Amino acid sequence: MRKTTKLLMIVASLTLIILYFVPFWKISLLAPQYPEYPDGLQIRIGLTSLTGGGEHHLEIIDLLNHYIGMRTLPKELPDFSILPYYVALMILFGLISVAVGDLILKKRRLEVINLVLIEMWVSFFAIIGIAGIWGFYLRGYEYAHNLDMSSPLAKAVLGMNYEPPLIGSKQLLNITAQSLPDIGGYILFLSFALGSAAFFYELISYIKYCRRKKEQ
């Protein structure tokens, strides 16, 4: 494996460790009667928990949403017991692909295996990513649609869509909801970009190697 590829893969894998410490997504709710939170009341999503953007944010959001009949924000989700393992897997897989490429496959002609390993890492990343977004969408849908019909406003708002946006900004009655990556989200993009760069670098190098071989 080439030095550059190696470096890119190691960095791509290890940066993922940061995800265990910072949330990767945030939903901010901005309401006119909350001037004290200029960045909104925030739900921050991490690998193992939902946290508030500050002390009491989640309680306040629950209180605001209870009129509509939204369930209280979950302390536990099945996702939280799976996500840390996925990320661990990505870190390990990335490092193993480097180790395999470096230690075992020193012969140039087997270099295609390197390429396949990295390709697998990138694809795996993408699949988890898409699955994650799908899961996020489902959670959001459930949060917005599984209303407690005995709550004061549930019937009044029936048919209105209270789902927070997947990404971007959306007006929900008096509240502007923003859904955007948190620090961990940018780490994910960075890691994916580095992995992809490693793949393309390795691919181009491999093509060049094949051409050279052909010419010989």
Partner 1 sequence: MKKKAIGRFGLILSLLLMSSSFMVMGCQSKGGGIGASDAASQVYVRPGTHDKFYAFLSGGFNGQLLVYGLPSTRLLKMIPVFTVGAENGYGHSEETKALLNTSFGFIPWGDSHHPQLSKTHGVPDGRWVFINENNTPRIARINLKTFETEEIIEIPNSGGNHPSPFITQDSEYLLAGTRFSVPIPNVDTPYKDYKEKFKGTMSFIRADKPGKMEVEFQILLPGFDYDIARAGKGPSHGWFFVSCYNTEQSPTWKERNASKNDKDYIAAINWKKAKGCVAAGKAKNMPATYYHNYMDPGSRIAKSVKKTSVKVLSPDDCPGIVYYLPTPKSPHGVNVDPTGEYIVGSGKLSAAFTVHSFSKMIKAIENKAFSKTVYGIPVIKYEAVMAGEVQGGMKKPVCLGPLHTEFDGKGYAYTSCFLSNNVIKWKLGEWKVVDQIRTYYNIGHLMIPGGDSSKPFGKYLIAMNKTTKDRFLPTGPELAHAGQLIDISGEKMKLLSEFPELGEPHYAQALPAELVEPNSLRIYKLKENTHPHAVKSEKEALAKGKNGVVRDGNTVHIYLTTIRSHFKPDNIEGVKMGDTVYFHVTNLEQDWDVPHGFAIMGNQNVELLIMPGETRSTKWIPQKAGVYPFYCTDFCSALHQEMQGYVRVSG
| Interface with partner 1 in residues 17-36 (CB under 8 A) | 36
Q: Residue written as tokens 């004290």?
A: 36
Part of the chain binding partner 1 (CB under 8 A), chosen from 16-24, 56-64, 74-82, 191-199: 56-64
Part of the chain binding partner 1 (CB under 8 A), chosen from 11-19, 59-67, 102-110, 117-125: 59-67
Contacting partner 1 (CB under 8 A), which of 4, 21, 48, 63? 63
Count the site residues for partner 1 by CB under 8 A: 9
Contacting partner 1 (CB under 8 A), which of 4, 14, 21, 59? 59
Contacting partner 1 (CB under 8 A), which of 7, 22, 31, 60? 60
Residue type at position 203: L
Contact partners, residue 108, CB within 8 Å, separation at least 6: 209
| Interface with partner 1 in residues 107-166 (CB under 8 A) | 152
Exposed (0-12), middle (13-18) or buried (19+): which is 69, by Cβ within 10 Å?
buried
Q: In what order do the strands lie in the sheet with 50-52?
A: 50-52, 41-45, 25-30, 175-181, 168-172
- Give residues in contact with partner 1 (CB under 8 A): 36, 55-56, 59-60, 63, 66-67, 152
